[in-house]
Amino acid sequence: MKFAIQINEGPFTHQSADTAYQFTKAAIENGHEIFRVFFYHDGVNNGTMYGVPPQDDRNVQALWSDLAEKHDLDLVVCVAAAQRRGIMDEDEAKRHGKGASNIAPKFRISGLGQLIEAGIQADRLMVFGD
């Protein structure tokens, strides 16, 4: 089965990001395909490289980056939601006159069209969080 994943909550405010990560990892391990992981609303906070959780806590961003590296996942952060929360790649930072990019490795910024395409291409769109 081909899944698209939508994550609407940040890594430390709700269980959704952890649950989405565990679901995605389990789906891959069981032979399913992940078409795309789309981070929306506060879910875009999973894609910032400047979050530094305590040493005894999980690092959800690093978990996603590692999973994407190992399995060539497409991790897409919604551009509008990211801009509202100060998350930018190099192009967006330049366009808005900001000093630097803060998007985490293996994440990319794009628009809602990527979510629509994922919903069309996948057999199931799984949504985590409100």
Structure confidence at residue 54 (pLDDT): 84
Residue 14 confidence (pLDDT): 85
Query: Is residue 88 among the annotated active site residues?
Result: no
C-alpha distance from residue 130 to each of 41, 68, 95, 127 (Å)? 9, 24, 31, 8
From first to last of its 130 residues, the chain has per-residue pLDDT tens of 999 999 999 998 889 999 999 999 999 999 999 999 999 999 999 999 988 888 888 889 999 999 999 999 999 999 999 999 999 999 999 999 988 899 999 999 999 999 999 999 999 999 999 8
Domain count within the chain:
1
Which domain does 76 fall in, by range?
Answer: 2-128
Q: What is the pLDDT of residue 62?
A: 94
Residue in 20, 27, 75, 78 annotated catalytic? 78
CATH of the domain at 93: 3.40.1260.10
Our CA dihedral for 48, 106, 52, 86, rounded to 10 degrees, sits at -10
